[in-house]
Amino acid sequence: MLDRIPNNVDLEGNPKLQRALLEWQPDFLAWWNEVGPEGFQQDDVYLRTAVGVGQGGWAHWEFVKMPEYRWGIFLANPRKIDTVYFGDRIGEKLWDRVPGEFRKELRRLIVTQGDTEPASVEQQRLLGQTAPSLQDLRALLQVNVEEARHLWAMVYLLHSYFGADGRDEAEQMLERRSGHADRPRILAAFNLPIRDWLAFFCFTTFTDRDGKFQLASLAESAFDPLARSTQFMLMEEAFHMATGETGVARTVRRTAELMRQGVDPRSVGAIPLEIVQKYINEWSSASNDLFGGEDSTNAANYFAAGLKGRFNENDPGKYGDHRVLDAVYESQVFQDGHWSTVSIPMRRAMNAVLLDSYHEECARIVERWNSGLEEAGLSERLSAPSLRFNRRVGLYAGQPYDPAGEPVAEADWRAKAGQWLPSTEDREYVRQCMLPVLEPGKVANWIAPHAKGVGGKPTDFQYVQFH
Ligand code: BYC
């Protein structure tokens, strides 16, 4: 079995780790069979597998049955710098062991990160049944096997560095279930159902992008095995986000094409822009919550200890000050009928700082979707909702702001929620649009075709060979 785990962590020379993984692997496969993608498990899927960090390329493409996928364990190449470069411990040598005083915090970060990976597979398990094209089906299954590999990456850290506690945590990763009443996943967005492909594309745009920013901030960690594991995960994450961005872009392009021809998208089973906007509002706001509170002592502690940095903390010229002892973060909240400024010591505002970097990138993605509308000669535009809109976590939690971030009366919020967020009817309409198309080169009527194929193959390639 060991030769089936591609790795660059010297698994062969580490009998203790081998034993731990050998015990965990059957439970992982049982989990995959129970709540992994429904159907297609015996089909041959054209998938990329991470095989190394060498010069020959990091991934290998082949037809594979998903249960036989080779889930590997990789660390990115060593960093150029070998000392801690932010927080209170600047100049200390990077850690290749877990310091006793940060064991609890590191375990918590790794478990929280790891938990999202199987959660997303569970959330997406039924989507294959309604794939709008064979290439989209392949993309979904690629995302699923790679999220499962990200679980392996975190389980490797738990088994290698956290002893019996780590083994327990690794088991619990397979026991919690997305949306389960008694054993839910840890973070809220990972318990929401992903019912249709528009939700999937919004999730991979916004929620996977939270993944990018969280992984990038962990890739700055003083705990070197965590930093290098998450750095490697970012390579796979790029495709997941591109799946989301191009998926929404193709949805918008199809709708725009119909609108330009004077055809009501609803009359042909395509998705009106106002529904696309509501889905953006829903998944963007749920993903904003994943950054945690804007004012967080956890975040301050992580930064001080060197466990979690800012986005691109080590980029020369990005941040002058890597101790961040004096700066203050300011935000505006509407309270008791007027706006007031909230000042947060910058270390405690590290979640807000990361969220701002993320939000800027999301705004750029939405602009790219808008350029599709502009090219079609339409005046309608999409937008990312304000960071204040529909929040359940942090400074704005439970407060009534509209998508532009303006305060509204509680009663107005309730009355208008159906204009801003998908209603039951909207979801039902989208569900009806989701007719599966599995003939090579063909695509469902609600979405434009892919501009290009993947893995060196054309768009009409038989990406999944059914048995
Ligand atoms: N839902 O001090 P606070 C990905 C909890 S996505 C539920 O405000 P903190 C992926 C928090 O745990 C990236 N609970 O925030 C994407 C704490 O609980 P305790 C995942 C929440 O701790 C797509 C309490 O509220 N990676 O990879 O600074 C597909 C107070 O917390 C939520 C990570 O998240 C929430 N939304 O920050 C597949 C990185 N938010 O201690 C994969 C690791 C907060 O009172 N995690 N809470 O019990 C972290 O860095 C931090 O845990 C968080 C929260 C950023 C999540």
pLDDT in tens, 282-317: 999 999 999 999 999 999 999 999 999 999 999 988
pLDDT at 56: 65
pLDDT at 257 exceeding the cut of 80? yes
Cβ(114) to ligand 1 under 6 A?
no
Give 334-346 pLDDT, tens digit per residue. Answer: 999 999 999 999 9
Length of the chain: 467
Residue closest to 59 by CA, chosen among 142, 161, 170, 156 = 142
Taking residues 387-416, report their average pLDDT: 97
| Residue bearing the CA closest to ligand 1, atom 7 | 187
Residue 214 in contact with ligand 1 by CB distance below 6 A:
yes
Q: Tokens in use for 289?
A: 């919550």
pLDDT value of residue 316 = 87
pLDDT of residue 2: 61
**Per-residue pLDDT tens digits for 159-176:** 999 999 999 999 999 999
Residue 8 pLDDT > 70, yes or no?
A: yes
Tell me: pLDDT of 396 over 90: yes
Percentage of the chain lying above the pLDDT 70 cut: 99
pLDDT surpassing 70 at residue 47: yes
| Residue range 391-417: mean pLDDT, rounded | 97
Give the residue, out of 112, 151, 301, with the most ligand 1 atoms within 8 A of its beta carbon, to mutate for a pocket test: 112
Whole-model pTM: value is 0.97
pLDDT score recorded for residue 376: 94
- pLDDT value at residue 55: 62
- Which atom number of ligand 1 is nearest to the Cα of residue 204? 23
Give the model confidence (pLDDT) of 48-103 as tens digits. 999 988 766 789 999 999 999 999 999 999 999 999 999 999 999 999 999 999 99
